[in-house]
Amino acid sequence: MRYINIFFLIIAVLVGACSGSKKLTQAKKSFSIGEYTRAAELYKKAYAKEKNRYYKGEYAWYMGESYRITNKPLKAASAYSKAVRYEYPEREAQFYMAESYRKAGKLDKAIPEYEEYLEKVPADIRAQRGLASCMMLQKEPQPNRYIIAKEKDLNSKYSDYSPTYAGTEFDYVVFASMRVEGKSKRKNRITGQGTSSIFYSKKNAKGAWEDPAPFEEPINNPKFDDGSPFVSHDGKELFFTRCKFDNEKPTGAEVVSCKRQGGQWGEPINASLALDSTLLDSTVIAHPALSADGETLYFVSDMEGGYGGKDIWKAEKAGEGQWGEPINMGSAINTPGNEMFPFIRKDGILYFSSDTHIGFGGLDLFKAELNEEGNWDVTNMGEPINSIGDDFGIVFQGKDEVGLFSSSRGSTKGIDNIYSFVLPKLNFYLTGLITNNNEEIVTGSYLRLIGSDGTTMKVKSPSDGKFKVKLKPNTDYVFLVAAEGYLNKKVKFSTSGEVNDKSFEYNIVMEKPLQKVN
């Protein structure tokens, strides 16, 4: 799991009692306020000099936590293994070691660690599903039909993530970036990258993305980390996650929004989604996504009443700029781990990322649909959408299976990039030949095709008796073949459930009616 590098879920993490040595004061402080990149460096130096076994295990644990949170699984696994070796009394060290090995694709190392941990903590659902994920990956599941590509014009050498379309032409994209521009811009001690800001890009006349540019104030503010944007479907309101930073204490995150009037964006204001306003400084409220009608706001939070980690919640509109009481999306969606980056399509299908539902690596993308009983059916989106890295922040171009998402695949430094995806449309055809019992072409024959989608089509066969008709996916068909002097033929078939291009071939043999005997 990852909090900071997937953007601004800055949280207070348990900080144990380290050695009283003054030289560790800064390491403890850096970790406690979320400066994980700096904390990892300081604990690494302390570990190298320490002789006491207990303290070596303790420093290794905090190194592992720092690397895990900043999405460096191999370094995290190595650090956790040292904490386990030195018998540091934090039993989750072995769990996170297994998780980190899985995220790094080291299944042979992850599986025994999961198994040993589950012998001690058999009820841990996170470990149960982590082990199940490894078992699934060992069977080498086959990729599906999605085609993905890295959007090089939108990406930099730093993290670029959480794209969202602005408008219905899908030629304007807004996203978050940790890119460092110019030598004067300081790197963030939390991630080792730049401070996250909101960027935009438009497509030019050739259909290519123009160089991304940052929004000016008041949207981007150098005092905050701003990320995970979402533009309302009418293009008039921008929601995003804002994280404050405090040199003395850990902070939470909030969802803010601003409206566009007269070509200008207004001042961002807090969406007020927390049940208790006194908890705003420490509670995570993040990753906003608005329904198509603008009446429901989905978001992520670690507020009380959830299932553990980060959960997906929703709130109904209660007036201009006001939202009702947050409602948890339930146990079918949320787990004891982290569920984040929701996106809701116009048809009500929910997409989100999770590190605990059975998947391929870190965060995987999932699709949730309401069944006839009103319950959520959750399915993994499979490869190549998902990978052993973190895959999250998906958006679609309306009803089409085309869009953008974010992924850390291929990066050992936890760098995220924006990818495009498309699911090619399936091609189905009805083909065949119409002959009689003597294998002669039946001239003047015709075919009438009726589909469950309301299709009605009459097709005359050419002189060679062959026919070819284009079909629609997920449709039940019946077709009738008729010709003067012959008995009619009727055939039923369906394209439903087909996942590859297919030609339905029927060679029809027409028969003459029996002659009456006097």
CATH assignment of the domain containing 438: 2.60.40.10
In DSSP notation, 244-309 reads ---SSS---EEEEEEEEETTEE---EE----SSGGGTTTSBEEEEEE-TTS-EEEEEE--TTSSSS
Whether residue 443 is contained in a domain is answered as: yes
pLDDT on residue 424? 94
Residues 161 and 226 in one domain: yes
Cα-trace Rg, the chain = 28
How many CB atoms sit inside 10 A of residue 121's CB? 14
Residue 279's nearest CA partner among 326, 240, 330 is 326
Residue 439 has pLDDT above 50, yes or no: yes
The amino acid at 326: P
Domain stops at, among 138, 171, 197: 138
Whether residue 206 is contained in a domain is answered as: yes
Residues 416 and 324 in one domain: yes
Residues 176 and 260 in one domain: yes
Q: What angle do CA 152, 156, 158 make, to 5 degrees?
A: 140
3-state secondary structure 423-459: CCCCCEEEEEEEEECCCCECCCCEEEEEECCCCEEEE
**How do residues 356-385 score in pLDDT, each as one tens digit?**
999 998 999 999 999 999 999 999 999 999
Give the containing element (helix H, strand E) for 47: helix 36-49
| Ramachandran quadrant class, 360 (left: phi over 0; alpha: psi -120 to 50; beta: rest) | alpha
Residues 133 and 58 in one domain: yes
* Number of structural domains the chain divides into: 3
3-state secondary structure 486-499: CCCEEEEEECCCCC
The residue with greater pLDDT, 22 or 46, is: 46
The residue with greater pLDDT, 12 or 466, is: 466
Residues 412 and 506 in one domain: no
- Confidence category of residue 518, pLDDT binned at 50, 70, 90: low
Residues 474 and 377 in one domain: no
pLDDT on residue 203? 96
Residue 249 has pLDDT above 70, yes or no: no
* Token code pair at residue 150: 């890295």
The residue with greater pLDDT, 351 or 30, is: 351
CATH assignment of the domain containing 164: 2.120.10.30
Whether residue 293 is contained in a domain is answered as: yes
Q: How far apart are CA 241 and CA 3, in angstroms?
A: 13
Whether residue 11 is contained in a domain is answered as: no
Strand pairing report for 456-460 and 253-261:
unpaired
Whether residue 12 is contained in a domain is answered as: no
The residue with greater pLDDT, 412 or 62, is: 62
The residue with greater pLDDT, 60 or 17, is: 60
Whether residue 515 is contained in a domain is answered as: no
Residue 252 has pLDDT above 50, yes or no: yes
Domain that holds residue 81: 22-138
Residues 382 and 260 in one domain: yes
CATH assignment of the domain containing 67: 1.25.40.10
* Token code pair at residue 265: 């964006």
Domain stops at, among 390, 422, 454: 422
pLDDT on residue 3? 40
* Token code pair at residue 422: 């498309």
User: Helices then strands (H, E): number in the chain?
Assistant: 7, 29
Residues 433 and 416 in one domain: no
How many CB atoms sit inside 10 A of residue 23's CB? 11
Residues 293 and 317 in one domain: yes
Residues 183 and 306 in one domain: yes
Average pLDDT (9-22) is 35
Residues 259 and 387 in one domain: yes
Domain stops at, among 422, 455, 481: 422
Residues 288 and 192 in one domain: yes
> How much is the pTM?
0.85
